Amino acid sequence: MAMSKFPRVPRAAKPPKSPVTKVSRGVPDDQTLLDALVANRELDVGDLAKQFGLKGDDRRLLRQRLKYLSEAGHLDKRGRKTFGAVGALPDTGVCEVVEADIDGELWVQWGKPDEKVKAPLARLAPLKETTVQTPPAVGDRIFARFEKTSDGWVAHLIKVLDQGAPKVVGVVRISRQRKGATEYRLESVSRKTRENYILTGQGLDALEDGDVVVAAPVGGITRYGPKPAKVIEVIGKEDEPKVASIMSIHSHGLSIGFNADTELEAKSAKAPGLGKRTDLRDLPFITIDPSDAKDHDDAVYAHRDEDEANPGGYIVWVAIADVAHYVTPGSSLDKDARDKGNSTYFPDRVEPMLPHVLSSGLCSLQESENRATLAVRMVFNAAGKKIGHKFVRGLMRSAAKLSYEQAQAAIDGNPDDKTGPLVETLIKPLWEAHACLTRGRNIRQPLHINSPERKITLDADGKVVKIEPRVSLDAMQLIEEMMIQANVSAAETLEKHKTPLIFRVHEAPSLEKIGNLADFLATLGLPWTKGEPPRTERFNALLDGQKDGPHAEIINEVVLRTQMQAHYSPENYGHFGLNLDNYAHFTSPIRRYADLVVHRGLIRALKLGDDGLTDYEIKTLKDTAEHITETERRSMKAEREAIERYIAAFLQDKVGATFQGRIVGVTRFGLFVKLSETGADGIIPVSSLGNDYFVHDDVQHALIGQRSGERWRLGTNIEVELMEAMPITGGLVFKMLSEPEAADPYAPRARLGVRARTGQAFQPRTGKPGPKTGGRPKGFIPQGAKNAKKKKKR
């Protein structure tokens, strides 16, 4: 098309002309129409016609009049024949939670995101006590009922339609295109998707290369190229050390901070007096925790039982912070705590379940401070069996705050100025009681699986200084066993009083998993009867019998994978790993909501106050159990990903270095490796293992060479070279330096396979290359070619 010689001058937009219509006494004037829409908020043409008794031509004239009012901006067109008053919301509708204000209140917006005229924001009303589902969060889509109040529009939740709308955490990459345009790309930090996005929308000029942002994909699925996304929030820079935790927090949708009402309730909290509580301040409780612990949930005290009927027995007291006194059902503190489910721990920070003023203040059992407590007095006989227990709601005062290392050094004969005076009176009796409980533990036979942990040390700037194995001390085992017994006592008490509770359950391995274990052990020449019911004693006999053998690590790994995952449930399925019939979490209410629910159950069952478990909480225990199971697993994933990113940053300048490690995972696409020194996890791609084609054998948990029969098995100790470290995703890629395990001469030959890279088959016996897979037989003519030949002949 030929262009005009002179540029066109844009004209100002004219208002729409009022339609020329016949005069009709039936069609009301404009103001009457608008008043009707304001009164009804939303009506279609048919409803308006019925309301004013319009028929025939009058209905046509009504449609023209409504169209004019819509184009003039006096009303909103909400469908082909539906109209509403400007600034009004329908009775019900689908909306999106678009923001949370400084007070923590959520605001929603009705309508489609691409509409030119945005509907007014509506405040989401507090959920009713009868609402069972998890509260929505920013980005969620909900179905709500709208109400006009003197303070504006209010939305009442009917149903959450899309919990956790998709969001992407990524790094901004800015590039200049050939025509001078600037392209803003987003590289996802997720190792699972590794998708790229094109950033769209306003405010892109403010972004810098390397910004870490939270974005939301927009529009439909694109056929080619990256999907579009819009930036929601800038959360850091990729070169900031502490951004590793921030990325994990946002990637998994963890709640950050608390709303204003929660903070106000926490600051307004008052410590209780003695009142009707049992006075435990004369009992010399002590806390024993990690050296960097800020919150102290539990304190312990033990002594010999003076009862002649229990010779060699011990009394063990466990005092737990009385969080239920401060966090009451239905309060803002309670809603935030339930939403979070638990505290989440990162190398550089903690996202707590409760505000700091409670978690590290009034609820924490600090030294020499009066603290509200829910305590249990347990009696053990000489064999370490618990023969009685009693719960009291009291007031206690910690005699000393010790670290695990302090307590261990004191009992080992190296006390310091603080522990020296406590050795004979407090520390030795605790260790004697622990020896008693250990006898009972050995009889009970919990699983003996070894699962080492690593400790990451950061400097003031948040950079990793060192990564080292976390040492297991007797002091840690002492506290662990006493906490387990307190948890058992809580579950037994609630069961006895028929009070519903949330159990911590760990079911026995499935028959399928036991069968897989038996098949694997058969490859090592170790017998295991598939039909035998799973028992911890049987697993322990296997683990202990092979702990000094060449296959100890791989057997430990496979037995661990055979176990089910623990979770929370209002139904009692027992705890297989601990070999206990009744088990619940009671000892950490500062950092776990499950424990707070159990505390309230004990208060209700034992009539220890009016702030116990409510009927509504009992009614919704199943939903609560499922929710806190999900929040626990979400936190575990976030913690693990943050640690992986910190370790990848630590190893970034060590590319090319060699490390000792162990194969901890075998898949068809490669081997997963854990380094011995740092505990870092990475992958060796199958394509880098050599020219042989490796088949994944899920029975042997191994990759086996098609021609050579050489094997890479789960648990094998190897040497690797670091090829790539990616701090943004936490990914590590290694190269194998060790030689594979020789072929098993008695193993059956592998079936004909396909080489991973060339697609070439191998003859099972000769190992010589065979024909290309997918090739056509000799003399084969495609159907299209046959038809072409026929046409040519014609």
Q: For 11-39, what is the mean pLDDT? A: 57
Mention every residue, 6+ apart, whose C-beta is less than 8 A from residue 332: 259, 261, 262, 264, 265
DSSP single-letter state for residue 424 = I
**pLDDT for the residue 333:** 96
Query: Residues 6 or more apart from 785 whose CB is under 8 A from it?
Result: none
**Weakest-pLDDT range from 132-136, 547-551, 554-558, 559-563:** 132-136
Q: Do 386 and 485 touch, CB atoms closer than 8 A?
A: yes
Of 706, 713, 666, nearest to 690 by C-alpha is: 706
Average pLDDT, the chain: 84
CA 95 to chain centre: 26
pLDDT confidence bin for 118, thresholds 50/70/90 = low
Give percent of the chain with pLDDT exceeding 70. Answer: 81
Pairing, β 314-321 against β 298-304: antiparallel
Give pLDDT, residue 450: 81
Averaged pLDDT, 71-88: 62
Interatomic CA distance for residues 4 and 502, integer angstroms: 78
754 pLDDT above the threshold of 60: no
Q: Give the per-residue pLDDT at 490.
A: 98
What is the amino acid identity at position 698?
D
pTM of the model: 0.75
**C-alpha dihedral (764, 767, 773, 775), degrees to nearest 10:** -110
Q: Judge whether residue 552 has pLDDT over 70.
A: yes
- Cβ contacts of 455 within 8 Å, gap of 6 or more: 467, 468, 469, 470
Which of 259, 92, 250, 238 shows the shortest CA–CA distance to 161? Answer: 92
Token pair for 465: 């200084």
* Most confident by average pLDDT, 103-117, 152-166, 330-344, 511-525: 330-344
Question: Which residue in the block uniquely carries the two structure tokens 């790994």?
Answer: 557
The answer, yes or no, to whether residue 265 has pLDDT greater than 60, is yes
CB 658 within 8 A of CB 738: no
pLDDT-based confidence at residue 434 (cuts at 50, 70, 90): very high
Q: Which pLDDT does position 14 carry in this prediction?
A: 45
Is the model's pLDDT at 309 over the cut of 90?
yes
Looking at mean pLDDT, say which of 50-64, 689-703, 716-730 comes out highest: 716-730
Tokens for 166?
């998709």
Assign 700 a pLDDT band (cuts: 50, 70, 90). confident
Cα(631)–Cα(270) distance, integer angstroms = 29
In the prediction, which pLDDT does 430 show? 98
Specify the residue for token string 């007070």: 103
C-alpha span between 608 and 322 (Å, rounded): 12
Grade residue 84 by pLDDT with cuts at 50, 70 and 90: low
Residue 523 in tokens:
């490859």
Q: For the chain, give the number of residues.
A: 794
What is the distance between the alpha carbons of residues 688 and 786, in angstroms, rounded to a whole number? 43
With CA atoms as reference, report the closest residue to 171 among 234, 241, 256.
234
**Cα separation, 707 vs 709, whole angstroms:** 6
The stretch 690-695 carries a mean pLDDT of: 87
Q: Residues 272-276: what's their mean pLDDT? A: 93
State in Å, rounded, how far the first CA of the chain is from the last one. 46
Q: Does residue 575 have a pLDDT over 80?
A: yes
Residues in CB range of 117: below 8 A, 6 or more apart: 76
pLDDT band at 9 (very low <50, low <70, confident <90, very high): very low
Is the per-residue pLDDT at 720 higher than 70?
A: yes
Q: What percent of the chain has pLDDT over 90?
A: 52
Q: Average the pLDDT over 635-662 and give the result.
A: 94
Q: Would you list the DSSP string of 674-698?
A: EETTT--EEEEEGGGS-SSPEEEET
Question: What's residue 45's pLDDT?
Answer: 62
Q: How far apart, in whole angstroms, are the C-alpha atoms of residue 550 and residue 445?
A: 24
Give the separation between CA 66 and CA 488, rounded to whole angstroms: 70
Dist CA 182 CA 200 (whole Å): 11
Q: Which pLDDT belongs to residue 343?
A: 96
Residue 287 reports pLDDT greater than 90: yes
Quote the tokens at residue 467: 């990564």
Cα-trace Rg, the chain: 34
* 123 bridge partner residues: 107, 154
For residues 39 and 329, what is the distance between their CA atoms, to the nearest angstrom? 40
**3-class SS of residue 538:** helix
**Burial (CB count within 10 angstroms: exposed 0-12, middle 13-18, buried 19+), residue 680:** buried
3-state secondary structure 379-414: EECCCCCEEEEEEEEEEEEECEEEEHHHHHHHHCCC
Angle at which helices 593-605 and 474-496 cross, to 10°: 50
Return d(Cα 185, Cα 198) in angstroms, integer: 5
Q: Highest mean pLDDT: which of 22-36, 584-598, 650-664?
A: 584-598
Cβ neighbours of residue 323 under 8 Å, at least 6 residues apart?
Answer: 354, 358, 363, 589, 590, 595, 596, 599
Residue closest to 395 by CA, chosen among 367, 364, 374: 374
DSSP, collapsed to helix, strand or coil, labels residue 781 as coil
Whether 541 has a pLDDT exceeding 90, the answer reads: yes
Query: 743 pLDDT exceeds 90?
Result: no
Q: By C-alpha distance, which of 218, 212, 188, 187 is closest to 200?
A: 218
**Lowest-confidence range among 149-163, 625-639, 723-737?**
149-163
Mean pLDDT of 501-521: 91
Q: Is the pLDDT of residue 605 over 90?
A: yes
For 65, other C-beta atoms within 10 Å of its C-beta total 20
* Rounded distance between C-alpha atoms, residue 792 and residue 290, angstroms: 87
Q: What is the mean pLDDT of residues 441-463?
A: 90
The helix or strand, by DSSP H or E, that contains position 156, with its residue range, turns out to be strand 152-162
Residue 775: is its pLDDT beyond 80?
Answer: no
CA distance 69 to 76: 9
For the segment 96-103, the average pLDDT, to the nearest whole number, is 75
Helix (H), strand (E) at residue 301? strand 298-304
In whole angstroms, what is the distance from residue 149 CA to residue 146 CA? Answer: 10
Per-residue pLDDT for 164 more than 60? no
Interatomic CA distance for residues 544 and 615, integer angstroms: 48
